[in-house]
Structures are given as C-alpha cells and as structure tokens.
Amino acid sequence: MNPTVLRHAIALLGFSVCLGAESPPMRLWPGPAPGEKGNIGEEKEISKPTDGPVAGRQVIRLGKVSDPTLTVYRPDAGRDTGAAVMVCPGGGYYMLAYDLEGSEVCQWLNSIGVTGVLLKYRVPRREGLAPYAAPLQDAQRALGLTRFHAKEWGIDPKRVGVLGFSAGGNLCAVLSAATARTYPRVDDADDLGSHPDFQILIYPAYLVNDNAGYKIRPEVAVTSDTPPTFLVMAQDDPVHVENILGYAMALQDAKVPMEMHLYPTGGHGYGLRPTKNYVTTWPQRAGDWMRSRGLLGSN
C-alpha cells in the first residue's frame, strides 16, 4: 500500500473503535411527503456491475427514494461534544451514494464527538420541479426535527451544521440560502429554525452556471446570513473546480467566514475513503476547522 494511504487509513481507524449508537431510521413526514403521488416505484439499490469501486470497495447506490428518513448516529458519551451535523449524500439528484457519502461520514463524525444525522432525501429528480425542490423540503424538515429532538439526542440546537457531497453539497448550499420553508407547516418541529449554523461542502455541484461566466446560481445566493463555510475540491474534478472558487468569492464579498482547500488531483466522488490523492485527507482539515470555531466545545 502507498505509505501516504497507509498513514491516512491508520488515522481513520478511529471509526472502528469509537462508534456510538445508530438509531432506527425516522420518517420525516407523518404521511406522504409533499407532492408525492406514489408513482416513483420501490426504493432499491441500483448499482450496476459496471459501476467501479471507490478505494477498492463498492458503493451502495440508493434509487427511487419517496419516503425520506433521517438516521441518528450518536458518539460515545465520553467524547460527545454536543455538536451535530446533518449529512447529505450526493448522486446528481438521481440516486444517493448512501455509504460512501453517508453512513461512513457519520461514523467519522462520531470519532470526533459529533452526532451524525444521515438524511435520506427524495431522488430521482421530480418531473416539472427544480432538481433540488423535493430534497430541499426534506432537508428543511430534517433540520427542524433535529432541533426539536435536541434535548433527547443530547444536541446543542445552536451547533447544528450540514455536510454535503456533490449534489448533496448543492442541497446544503440551497438550504443555507433559503429564507422560508417551502412546504406547509406540519407540526411543532416546523416552528424551529431550518437554517444551518455552519456548512461543510465537499466537491459541491451546481453552485455556478458553467455557461454564464461561472456566476453563482440564484438558488444558492450568498448573503451575510450564509453560515460559516468549509470548502474542498480538486482541480481535476470533472464537475468543475469553479464551483467552490465562485462560491468562495461570493462568501468573501459577503464577509462570511470561510476556509477553502483546493487540491491539484483527486477527481470526484471519493467520499472520505483514503487514496493516494492528498485531497482525501480533508476530514482532518474539517475537524481542525470545527475545533477552531469552537463547534466541538472543550473536548
């Protein structure tokens, strides 16, 4: 094994020795999700034999999600900082890379004392709607539910952030830009804030218009209310590194605290599985960033 990969793998072995408890999935909506007609088909794993592994391991790809859920991963009590992060897997708004960019990320969060809240949002894109429309409703509902259950889950409701990959990164940015809920009130959970306290965007997609000078898209508009942001991407990412460059410029103009890490190689879709590319050391950088902002308390 490449020595760099080996060192990185050893650093991440904390996953296996400090995991907390995983809750049963919680349905987001008491009935059908807003606008659902029951015509999507049965939720299933849609990986094909031609889908290549990532860092030597296959990826769980969930498709046809119509009943969104959240699953809570609690860290061990001795290392629990009270912070929480809602994790949004990517998949182009067509499917969800559920382990690579979901459950494995929650396990890493547990290793640094953070509660991971894994969001299984609706895919694929709903006809006639913006790609992020149904997922945004799910994300807003999930963040409200997280704060509603803060005392039960041992969470500080003022330290609830979001972390997303690719389309999931786009979803986090849309959530951070939204000024109101995009669905009718359901219950008391919807009276609580759906605005993240911070966001971590890993190789985010769809933040800029490729054919319009890489200008920020209106649905992810940056203002002084945009939460502190951590950004990661590789220069050779086929989704275009301009996504974080343009977004970082907008953050700078709005005087939003941010940290950006740009790497020469790494491509797209690596999650946090260690490879020979230095970009896959981003979890260490993200952990340091959260500590520097006081998000991990005194632990």
Q: Can you list the alpha helix ranges (DSSP code H) found in 39-91?
A: none
- pLDDT tens, position by position, 210-230: 877 789 999 999 999 999 999
Q: Give the integer Cα–Cα distance in Å for 292 and 170.
A: 25
- pLDDT tens, position by position, 106-115: 999 999 999 9
Task: Name 10's bridge partners.
Answer: none
Q: Does domain 3-26+54-292 have CATH number 3.40.50.1820?
A: yes
Q: Which residue type occupies 171?
A: L
The domain segmentation of the chain, as residue ranges, is 3-26+54-292
- pLDDT confidence band for 20 (50 / 70 / 90): low
Q: Can you list the alpha helix ranges (DSSP code H) found in 87-188?
A: 104-111, 133-148, 150-153, 167-177
pLDDT computed for residue 210 by the predictor = 81
Q: What percent of the chain has pLDDT over 70?
A: 93
Q: Quick check: 3 pLDDT over 50? A: no
pLDDT computed for residue 1 by the predictor = 45
Structure-token match 């990320």, residue found: 105
Q: Quick check: 2 pLDDT over 70? A: no
Nearest to 246 by CA among 278, 210, 219, 282: 210
pLDDT computed for residue 16 by the predictor = 40
Q: Quick check: 25 pLDDT over 80? A: yes
* Least confident interval from 20-24, 42-46, 84-88, 241-245: 20-24
Whether pTM > 0.85 for this model: the answer is: yes
- pLDDT confidence band for 79 (50 / 70 / 90): very high
pLDDT computed for residue 227 by the predictor = 98
pLDDT computed for residue 298 by the predictor = 64
Tokens at residue 5, please? 């990969």
